[in-house]
Amino acid sequence: MEENNTSADMQDNQSLDEQNSQELQTKKKRGGFTSKIGFVLAAAGSAVGLGNIWRFPYLAAKYGGGIFLLTYIVLAVTFGFVLMIAEIALGRKTGMSAINAFKKLNKKWAFLGVLCAIIPIIILPYYSVIGGWVGKYFFTYITGGGASAAGDNFFNAFITSPWQPLLFFFIFVSIVFVVVLFGVEKGVEKVSKFLMPALVLLTIGVTIYALTMPGSAEGIKYYLLPDFKKFSVKTVLAALGQLFYSMSLAMGIMITYGSYMKKQDKIESSVHQIEVFDTGIALLSGLMIIPAAYAFSGGNPETLGQGPGLMFVALPKVFANFGNVGGGILGALFFALVLFAALTSAISLMETVVSIVIDKFHLSRKKSSVIVYVGTLLLGIPSSLGFGVWSAVSVGGMTILDMFDFLSNSILMPIAALLTCVFIGYVVGCQNLTDEIELNGPFKFKKFFNVMIKYVCPICIAAILVTSILDAFGVFNI
């Protein structure tokens, strides 16, 4: 890519090379992306996953449809944009992963690297439980059980069964482990170049069909038209947590990706591309699932509150309309592609956790991978059993999986994001990062970036967090 640099560019790059020769040396050792599109695809591969296809639609359904959608989009183009730029620039500037990047710039802020490290450790196990669910559906479809998957009780019977979800969870984590252990991510990345577009095309196709089903019109309205009466701080908190989760922000992952990015590549335009891709798939998934769920529930919004099961309940019913054979093929294909998207995200999560273990405890890659594998299995078991044998364990109506999800997305990630803004705005200084972003061209949204990082993001996130904590303790009801 971008071989036709002008001589001025070349000179710039040369002096840049000298300045940063040490960093570049480290970078060489760490490997790196050879082209901008390679970077964008890899980052999008981490970003696009269950967060877009499974989590976004059920949150949108739960938090009022259109109003959630609107809140999400506003947050994506403001908070999401500046935070992703900031993290990638931070990574590229330091040439390090999160745990060391903060430390390098200021010793006292090393704790923020640790906080960022805890988040993927919490997410990976329960992410893999849902990955296991997808695996089960894929397996059901390829073994000809598509019709039964559309049955009313199929999903419930599955997640409440004592061993089945555990088995699929174990298989899912084991696949991720094998990929990470043998370092075959590159191969996975290559395949994902074909499979991700296939997933997008299939989703578009299913969406068009789902939108023409009788009874879906109400659902489309619910999803697209904001009802401002349904707006509350909870909507914002949920949308914010979803934004971080979906874009793999506030947990150091984009810092690590940034550390592999070449100095010549443009950060700003890469971020635009990743964002459009990630948000586009989330919005499309909502459009595929919510109107269908509406149609099948006879327009009863109550059933839209299905929570984590929404995708698994709604889609098989759509596929069943295509008959046994057609529906079977469609279901198998769809769940295979979703499974793949989930695997690529889980691989990037496990990679992150493994490198944290390597950095912190100075263990070999092999040993670290085994530790993370066993740890993930152990930590995921409660989330899996929480829908069945341990369903009695719940806090405020949340299952164990919901609790982990809430802890990471609605508490820890906003805190990490808030601190990252404070760190950049007041400790490192925005200028330091904007210089990095401007290495190869003007930064169009520089002023906006500065104001957001210094004032808007930290103040808003703090306000949202405080309000929801007060709410959780019953100080007042929002």
- State the nearest-atom distance from the C-beta of 335 to ligand PHE, in Å: 15
Which of residues 216, 248, 376, 384 is near ligand PHE by CB under 6 A?
A: 248
- State the nearest-atom distance from the C-beta of 46 to ligand PHE, in Å: 5
Compare residues 73 and 329 and give the one whose CB is closer to ligand PHE.
73
Compare residues 47 and 461 and give the one whose CB is closer to ligand PHE.
47
Of 71-79, 137-145, 180-188, 240-248, which part binds ligand PHE (CB under 6 A)? 240-248
Please give the Cα distance from 478 to 475 (Å, whole number).
Answer: 10
Which of residues 44, 50, 339, 403 is near ligand PHE by CB under 6 A?
A: 50
3-state secondary structure the chain: CCCCCCHHHHHHHHHHHHHCHHHHHHHHHHCCCCCHHHHHHHHHHHHCCHHHHHHHHHHHHHCCCHHHHHHHHHHHHHHHHHHHHHHHHHHHHHCCCHHHHHHHHCHHHHHHHHHHHHHHHHHHHHHHHHHHHHHHHHHHHHCCCHHHHCCCCHHHHHHHCCCHHHHHHHHHHHHHHHHHHCCCHHHHHHHHHHHHHHHHHHHHHHHHHHHCCCCHHHHHHHHHCCCHHHCCHHHHHHHHHHHHHHCCCCCCHHHHHHHCCCCCCCHHHHHHHHHHHHHHHHHHHHHHHHHHHHHHCCCCHHHHHHHHHHHHHHHHHHHHCCHHHHHHHHHHHHHHHHHHHHHHHHHHHHHHHHHHHHHHHCCCHHHHHHHHHHHHHHHHHHHHHCCCCCCCCCECCECHHHHHHHHHHHHHHHHHHHHHHHHHHHHHCHHHHHHHHHHHCCCCCHHHHHHHHHHHHHHHHHHHHHHHHHHHCCCCCC
Residue nearest to ligand PHE (CB): 51
Compare residues 193 and 447 and give the one whose CB is closer to ligand PHE.
193
Kindly state whether residue 176 participates in binding ligand PHE, applying the rule CB under 6 A: no
Kindly state whether residue 246 participates in binding ligand PHE, applying the rule CB under 6 A: yes
Kindly state whether residue 51 participates in binding ligand PHE, applying the rule CB under 6 A: yes
Please give the Cα distance from 130 to 125 (Å, whole number).
Answer: 9
Q: Which residues contact 458 (CB under 8 A, 6 or more apart)?
A: 418, 421, 422, 425
- State the nearest-atom distance from the C-beta of 390 to ligand PHE, in Å: 25
**Could you tell me how many residues of this chain bind ligand PHE (CB under 6 A)?**
16
Compare residues 327 and 380 and give the one whose CB is closer to ligand PHE.
380
Kindly state whether residue 468 participates in binding ligand PHE, applying the rule CB under 6 A: no
Compare residues 251 and 311 and give the one whose CB is closer to ligand PHE.
251
* Residues 349-388 within binding reach of ligand PHE (CB under 6 A): 349
Please state, as a whole number, how many other Cβ atoms lie within 10 Å of the Cβ of residue 476.
8
Compare residues 339 and 428 and give the one whose CB is closer to ligand PHE.
339
- State the nearest-atom distance from the C-beta of 278 to ligand PHE, in Å: 7
Of 167-175, 248-256, 366-374, 456-464, which part binds ligand PHE (CB under 6 A)? 248-256
- Cα–Cα distances in angstroms (integers) from residue 295 to residues 216, 218, 225, in the given order: 5, 8, 17
Compare residues 198 and 213 and give the one whose CB is closer to ligand PHE.
198
Kindly state whether residue 128 participates in binding ligand PHE, applying the rule CB under 6 A: no
Of 66-74, 135-143, 241-249, 307-315, which part binds ligand PHE (CB under 6 A)? 241-249
At position 205, the amino acid (one-letter code) is G
- State the nearest-atom distance from the C-beta of 236 to ligand PHE, in Å: 19
Compare residues 222 and 373 and give the one whose CB is closer to ligand PHE.
373
Compare residues 140 and 248 and give the one whose CB is closer to ligand PHE.
248
Which of residues 42, 52, 176, 402 is near ligand PHE by CB under 6 A?
A: 52
- State the nearest-atom distance from the C-beta of 205 to ligand PHE, in Å: 21
One character per residue 317-356, x = contact with ligand PHE (rule: CB under 6 A) = ----------------------------x--xx-------
Compare residues 188 and 456 and give the one whose CB is closer to ligand PHE.
188
Compare residues 46 and 270 and give the one whose CB is closer to ligand PHE.
46
- State the nearest-atom distance from the C-beta of 461 to ligand PHE, in Å: 18
Binding residues for ligand PHE (CB under 6 A): 46-47, 49-52, 120, 123, 245-246, 248, 251, 253, 345, 348-349
